[in-house]
Structure 1
């Protein structure tokens, strides 16, 4: 089983993010934002980020099917979630799109040291935590 890191880009500079990835031996970054852009931090938009990572030997992949910003199902079985966004993401986790994307992430992590990235700095306030929980349940080690 793989060790998978999670990171939120937050207000960091690109160099700081890259330094953290390199410090932990990460050679593949999987962007789990549904929309891989940032107006406030344009260096974290898909193309500039991919170029910066490529320049230091880190592969970039966008996995939109693992992205957040979902809408809860009308018949949602996940009504215990107080945060509507987490309820919506829990619903999304039951879809074939999520399962297939999670399998692609697992396969990538078996081949190369991998981190998943979103914008939120704090993992427990981000859907990365739910992805991490799914990975741990499948036997992987996750480090935030």
Structure 2
């Protein structure tokens, strides 16, 4: 997408950017605080969690099994990602429909198949529509969250590409929260 195309999209009210972040690149003890700080630095107003389950996949009982600070905790305990983000003025929404249905499939074949078939009624399409609505909200700055450190190997890149192509005619820049670099 050329810069002129982005300027034209902005002029007609289309969003310019979608951010993406994977918390797996930060040390576990620092990741919740670093996530909130990085999102704030980019002006993010909504964190769209696209993990299939809003908790760590590393819940090995032999290694202090249980919730971690970057998990979703809606108990009102003041712990977890939701209250931490709220302190920074960032809303949180879980998009379960956008989770990778086959975590153990590095090629993401099932997700790709679902995305390739918009008329089949797969939940991913409902999730894309919801996400597009959030991105179009005036003043909203949205970031996709997953655990994967490398956006090129994460399903959130497939989600971002599908969102940009289907709902924004390709006129949506996708950027990495950690580096600020353009991914699309």
What range is the shorter-chain TM-score in?
Answer: 0.7 to 0.9
- Secondary structure of the residue aligned to 1:36 is coil
Counterpart among 41, 53, 56 of residue 85 in structure 2: 53
Pick closer, same or farther for the CA change 1:120–1:129 going to 2, 3 Å: same
Inter-CA distance 119–103: structure 2 relative to 1 (3 Å threshold): same
Structure 1: 5+ residue stretches without partners? 72-82
Is 1:128 matched with 2:156? Answer: yes
1:27 aligns to 2:53 (yes or no): no
Instruction: Using the TM superposition, name which of 92-101 and 106-115 deviates more.
Output: 92-101
Which residue among 35, 42, 67 is the counterpart of 2:99?
A: 67
Per chain length, whose mean CA-contact separation is higher, i.e. which structure has more relative contact order (CA < 8 Å, sep 6+)?
1
Unaligned 5+ runs, structure 2: 1-13, 60-66, 74-79, 177-184
Aligned Cα root-mean-square deviation (Å): 1.9
Q: How far apart, CA to CA, are the structure 1 residues paired with 2:107 and 2:145? A: 18
Of residues 127, 130, 137 in structure 2, which corresponds to 1:101?
127
Which of 88-97 and 55-64 deviates more? 88-97
Q: Normalized against structure 2, the TM-score is what?
A: 0.66
Q: How many pairs are equivalent?
A: 133
Cα pair distance change 1:84/1:21, threshold 3 Å: closer
Larger Rg: 2
**CA shift at 1:143, angstroms?**
1.1
Q: 1:35, 1:85 → 2: CA distance?
A: 19
Q: Deviations over 1:67-97 (max 9, x none)?
A: 01338xxxxxxxxxxx654111112323531
